[in-house]
Structure 1
Amino acid sequence: MSARCCANEASSACQTAIPPGYRKVLWFALVVNGVMFAVEIGAGLRADSVSLLADSMDFLGDAANYAISLGVLGLGLVWRARASLIKALTMAAFGVGILGITLYNFATGSSPHPPTMGAIGLLAMLANFAVLGVLLRYRHGDSNMRGVWLCTRNDVIGNAAVLLAALGVFGSGSAWPDLVVGAIFAGLALSAAVQIARQATSELRRHRGEPREA
């Protein structure tokens, strides 16, 4: 993180230097997540799979988060921390929403389609690995950059879980593996939301503790 524009990097007046190539990486991630949301939500509805629907909403949430990151890129730490709090809230809302879908499918006795789950889950994993690869060098930084990394990392973990759920549904003939993965998605989102919110809150507290400049 650069402090070239002021002595203290937490100052709201400080404009952080954008890491080389980071803006292009965010645009790439935004496009990939937008396309995969459209692909996966359709497949999830056809396959009656809560894990695919959860993953599709995760792609949508990530696309929105990448858009927010692009919007505050290069702004002062305070604005980026505030954007991170918005991200944390959206991730928490996603987690709660997925829990609701999981409970609904449990109550209605859904019967997901394993081949569709496996094929789309593999496609989603390849897409997220591509995004994860270009984000690897930017995984350390402020709460905003940290949030981008955590979103993508959670996606890869979630994709692996979808593939395992597809195998579990195929082998057992039960919807339970799909429901369990839905709950895992919710837990990952809520956990990441807490981590991002804590770091962003810490950054804002450090800013408020600064003496006012003359």
Structure 2
Amino acid sequence: MFVVEGIGGILAQSTSLLADALDMFGDALVYGFSLIVLARSERWHARAALLKGFFMLAFGLAVLAEAGYKLWHPPTLEVVTMGTIGFLALFANLICFYLLYRHRSDNLNMSSTWLCSRNDLIANVGVLLAAAGSHLLASYWPDVVVGVVIAALFVSSASGVIRQAIRALNAPPPAPSPVTTKPVTIQMPIKAPRKS
């Protein structure tokens, strides 16, 4: 979906579609990393969450920069392409969201992964609203506004995930559970005295 949405975003000259495409690429990397660390320690979960946070932050800032560029170079949008690909992306993300929903409270790793999926659904709805608004108003402004809102959501979520991950990484490791040892009694077999 990242490839499909990325090509569609370039063809449609859509900020919101490109924002969602970049997010999908990050999610593909993030989901893979989340599966790799699934059976590892809490510190690995925190590292995975930190990586996700930085991905979300980078994508948010990239989309803000792209939206700023479009303010100076107004595009001609292809709203039909935006809407079609937006619906495809929404369907793909609904499947991911459904699969992740019951694991959203398992640990920091799964919680941050689910947060990425939730952001995707919001972004997909935003892309569809941008397509509809741009068509009705015959303007690129709805697309730029939705792109900026999606980017702000990425930056906000990223800062929260990064803070949680850093707290988890800086927390002292859990104290080992005390081991209680019981004295071991060794019983030697007693030989019966020999008869002479």
Q: Secondary structure at the residue paired with 1:147? A: helix
Question: Would the aligned equivalents of 1:121 and 1:162 in 2 still touch at CA under 8 Å?
Answer: yes
2:67 equivalent to 1:90: no
Per-residue CA deviations over 1:78-128 (Å, capped at 9, x if unaligned) read: 111012111111111111111011111121111211111111111111111
| Distance of 1:52 and 1:213 partners within structure 2 | 51
| CA contact 1:146–1:196 (8 Å) conserved in 2 | no
> How do 1:33-112 residues align onto structure 2 when only pairs under 5 Å count?
36-112=1-77
Q: How far apart, CA to CA, are the structure 2 residues paired with 1:201 and 1:75?
A: 18
**Number of equivalences:** 178
Deviation at 1:201?
A: 2.2
Deviations 1:2-48 (A, max 9, x none): xxxxxxxxxxxxxxxxxxxxxxxxxxxxxxxxxx0011111111111
Instruction: Tell me the distance in 1 between the aligned counterparts of 2:83 and 2:115.
Output: 24
The aligned counterpart of 2:155 is: 190
Amino acid across the alignment from 1:71: I
Deviation at 1:141, TM superposition (A): 2.5
Residue 145 (1) aligns with residue 117 (2): no
Q: CA RMSD in A?
A: 1.6
Q: Which residue of 2 aligns with 1:125?
A: 90
Partner SS, residue 102 of structure 2: helix
The residue that corresponds to 2:81 in the other structure is 116
Out of 157, 164, 179, which is 2:129 matched to?
164
Which whole-Å CA distance do the structure 1 matches of 2:92 and 2:59 have between them?
20
Unaligned runs of at least 5 residues, structure 1: 1-35
The letter for the 2-side match of 1:195 is G
| DSSP-derived class of the 1:100 partner | helix
The ranges of structure 1 where at least 4 consecutive aligned residues each deviate by more than 4 angstroms after the TM superposition are 209-214
Shift of 1:132: 0.7
| Partner amino acid, structure 1, of 2:76 | S
> How far apart are residue 135 of structure 1 and its match?
1.1
Q: What percent identity do the matched residue pairs reach?
A: 43
Q: CA deviation at 1:210?
A: 4.3
Q: CA deviation at 1:150?
A: 0.5
Give the alignment's TM-score, normalised by structure 1: 0.79
Structure (1 or 2) with the larger CA radius of gyration: 2
